[in-house]
């Protein structure tokens, strides 16, 4: 597959694709005789994994470490379990922070409405 196809199918920009290659997040594609990159289906799987991981709050560094295990996952892997547990803790912390923020916003809204009612 050419880069344009990968960009269309994966939903990442060409710049993002090149950046991921540069930092070694995805496997480097072989080049054809004319110098074009020739991406395999596995790159699409890597990109889907990265997008999903990012949506769950994992950093690119954390995802880079996991990419090699995509082709040969090991059930019950302690490293994976630890990473998932750590991310669950981060999500729980973020939920607590968001709940505090919501309470603050509600208080500000209440104060704003009270001030408006006085005027």
Model confidence, pTM: 0.73
E strands in 1-119:
none
pLDDT, one tens digit for every residue, the chain (119 residues): 899 999 999 999 999 999 999 999 998 888 889 888 999 998 998 899 899 999 999 999 999 888 877 767 788 878 888 888 999 999 999 999 999 999 999 999 999 999 888 87
Closest CA to 66 of 35, 82, 99: 82
User: Cα torsion for 37, 41, 42, 47, to the nearest 10°?
Assistant: 80
Q: Considering the domain delimited by 1-72, tell me its CATH architecture.
A: Orthogonal Bundle (1.10)
- The number of angstroms, rounded, from the C-alpha of 48 to the middle of its chain's C-alpha atoms is 9
Q: Where are the domains of the chain?
A: 1-72, 74-119
């Amino acid at each position: 597959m050419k880069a344009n196809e990968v960009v269309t199918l994966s939903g990442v920009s060409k710049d993002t694709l090149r950046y991921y290659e540069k930092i070694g997040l995805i496997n480097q594609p072989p080049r054809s005789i004319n110098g074009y990159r020739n991406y395999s289906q596995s790159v699409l799987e890597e990109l889907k994994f990265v997008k999903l991981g990012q949506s769950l709050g994992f950093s690119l560094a954390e995802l880079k470490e996991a990419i090699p295990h995509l082709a040969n996952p090991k059930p019950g892997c302690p490293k994976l379990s630890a990473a998932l547990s750590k991310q669950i803790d981060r999500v729980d912390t973020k939920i607590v922070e968001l709940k505090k923020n919501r309470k603050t916003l509600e208080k500000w809204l209440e104060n704003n409405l009270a001030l408006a009612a006085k005027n």
